[in-house]
Structure 1
Amino acid sequence: MSNIHTTTIIEEGAIIAPDVIIGPFCHIGKGVEIKSGCTLESNIILRGKITIDENVKIFSFATIGCDDSEITVGTKTHIREFTQIGTQDSEDEKNKKITIGANNFIMGYVQILFGVELGEFCIVTNAVRLYENVKCEERVIVGGFSTIEANNKIGTGVMIGGASVVTTDIPPFMLVEGNKATIKGLNVIGLRRRLENKEDIEEIKAIYKKVLGDGTDKILAQEIAETNENDYIVRLASFIASSNLQ
């Protein structure tokens, strides 16, 4: 236990791997499991049923969980200062589970409410608020001071501009911004970094114009999802077909 500061309180029942480093003035609740390679700085509170996977780093003054929350944090995720995850009262008593995927970077003063699912390799920048039951697929970037309202889904590869308020689902690969946020086009830079085949990018552009260029055509999107063989196109079209977009 030499890696744990003497001022830290660890309740009986907590499971902490031998190599975990915990700084001063932390409080670790009885339902918490912290796996190998994790580092917790100072003044961190972990409460409820929480699983912290390997090699996670949590920075000072972060607060995660409450007495009846259920939260998982994926491997190699970084949670920066003053972030709050699952600390507010839930409006939906049926879903208090929060899932944070692997390799995420959650910056300072972020608030994540109950029911949120965050995929892998996401970047949530400063002072972002994710309301209840928001679902973010992998590789989503949310600009600072933005809000995603409850029960909306954000597709893979979406980039949300700073100080935006998102009130609807956002399909994969989109670039959005504004209050309230609207789709400005495709996240082309993100697509170029992600996809090696330029033909895939051009096909995504063509489908985007067909199903979102003059309003949302969910019927055409469903037809494309059922007939196209490109996995990226199927993912984009099926998302649009089942979204809450008007």
Structure 2
Amino acid sequence: MPKNTPNIHKSAIIEDGAKIAPNVVIGPFCFIGKNVELKSGCRVESNVILKGKLSVDEDVKIFSFAVIGCEDSKITIGTKTHIREFTQIGTQKSEDEKNKKITIGANNFIMGYVQILFGVELGDFCIVTNAVRLYENVKCEEKVIIGGLSTIEANNRIGTGVMIGGASVVTTDIPPFMLVEGNKATIKGLNIIGLRRRLDNKEDIEEIKAIYKKVLGSGADKILAQEIAETNANEYIIKLASFVASSNL
């Protein structure tokens, strides 16, 4: 096979209009719709269905029996993201009959049996483990980890660096750097391990701890959080405080 030709199994169905980069691999019994674009280095394993207006960036790997998109969907998937078996992204109609855009960032790891509904935005470097469900309009910032069998209810935001324990049901916004778990999920404290991995400056971590106690120690103090966001120079404190000030907590 020539180097500039995609490696497409003879049993795969590729509709006219689909854009397939030269070094893409498509396995047996796949269906690729007419408005799908697969960029360089993508690998699609067997029995995958890709439909709707779908743009898949470089080096994305989609594993067997995943279904992404429907006829009217608009979905983008960032580079080097892995989508494991039986995941469904944007395959169901939204409740208000409008198909909202789904944005999946770069370097994400989406594990098996995950369901992602319309309007979801997933930042970079997130890990979504097995059988998680993200309802409509959920917004996850970067470096979020969601434990298996968890549900994030519609219209909630998850801040950067949040870690959600397995089998949790999240019904509110979760501010950055938090550790949460439970049904329904509650904040258990700061994700200290995540902060240590992310921040080299220990003073930043100590300042985050202090602000956390002030604005979330006994319920969300949105007025104080807004004051801190407007007066503190630390980017991480601004991120935490401004999120709390505008949250639905």
The 5-angstrom pairing of residues 1-246 of structure 1 reads 1=5, 3-245=7-249
Distance 1:88 1:124 in 2: 19
SS of the residue 1:216 aligns to: coil
| 1:176-218 deviation digits (Å, cap 9, x = unpaired) | 0000000000000000000000000000000000000011100
Distance 2:6 2:22 in 1: 9
* CA apart distance, 1:75: 0.0
Distance 2:37 2:136 in 1: 24
Q: 1:2 to 1:103 in 2, by over 3 A?
A: closer
Distance 2:108 2:200 in 1: 23
* CA apart distance, 1:93: 3.8
SS of the residue 1:185 aligns to: strand
Distance 2:212 2:30 in 1: 48
Distance 1:107 1:52 in 2: 17
Number of residue pairs matched by the alignment: 245
* CA apart distance, 1:94: 4.4
Q: 1:222 to 1:95 in 2, by over 3 A?
A: farther
RMSD after superposition: 0.7
* CA apart distance, 1:95: 5.0
Paired residue type of 2:9 = H
Q: TM-score, normalised by structure 2?
A: 0.97
Paired residue type of 2:57 = D
Paired residue type of 1:176 = V
Distance 1:168 1:87 in 2: 25
Paired residue type of 1:68 = D
SS of the residue 2:219 aligns to: coil
Paired residue type of 2:22 = P
Paired residue type of 1:49 = K
Distance 2:99 2:86 in 1: 24
| 1:135-174 deviation digits (Å, cap 9, x = unpaired) | 0000000000000000000000000000000000000000
Runs of 5+ in structure 2 lacking a partner?
A: none
Runs of 5+ in structure 1 lacking a partner?
A: none
SS of the residue 2:193 aligns to: helix
Q: 1:156 to 1:115 in 2, by over 3 A?
A: same
Distance 1:95 1:192 in 2: 39
Alpha-carbon contact 2:56-2:79 (below 8 Å) kept: yes
* CA apart distance, 1:89: 1.1
